[in-house]
């Protein structure tokens, strides 16, 4: 049995399923490999590792709402060079 030397993309995944998997990882209770209320970035990286998906290929499986949550998370962590305008309610 030979193992593939490159990570291949599973054919069973689509945006809807992958996004559900991301949300379930983020909301997963403590005791797993990720801490409770884990970040979207951590969840995406773990799912890529579990499913042998190259991280660069993961973007085609991430839905728009998850991308926005990931962007907000990255802004809060100062990982982006730009910052979106936010409306703050008083």
The answer to whether residue 1 sits within a structural domain is: no
Contact 38, 25 (CB under 8 A): yes
Mean pLDDT of 61-74: 90
The answer to whether residue 9 sits within a structural domain is: no
| Domain interval for residue 45 | 15-76
Summary count for the chain: helices (H), strands (E): 3, 0
Total count of domains within the chain: 1
In the predicted structure, residue 4 carries a pLDDT above the cut 50: no
Q: Which residue did the predictor score with more confidence, 73 or 3?
A: 73
The answer to whether residue 22 sits within a structural domain is: yes
What pLDDT digit, counting tens, does each position of 26-59 carry?
887 444 555 555 688 888 999 999 889 899 988 8
Cα–Cα distance between 40 and 46 in angstroms, integer? 10
The answer to whether residue 44 sits within a structural domain is: yes
| pLDDT at residue 39, as a whole number | 85
Of all residues in the chain, the percent with pLDDT exceeding 90 is 17
| pLDDT at residue 75, as a whole number | 85
Residues 6+ apart with CB under 8 A from 73: 39, 40, 41
Of all residues in the chain, the percent with pLDDT exceeding 70 is 67
């Amino acid at each position: 049995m030979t193992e593939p030397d490159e990570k291949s993309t599973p054919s069973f995944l689509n945006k809807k399923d992958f996004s559900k998997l991301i949300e379930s990882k983020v909301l997963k209770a403590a005791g797993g490999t990720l801490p409770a209320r884990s970040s979207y970035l951590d969840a995406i990286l773990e799912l890529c590792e579990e499913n042998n998906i190259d991280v660069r290929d993961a973007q085609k499986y991430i839905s728009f709402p998850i991308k926005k949550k990931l962007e907000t998370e990255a802004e809060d962590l100062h990982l982006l060079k730009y910052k979106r305008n936010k409306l703050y309610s008083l």
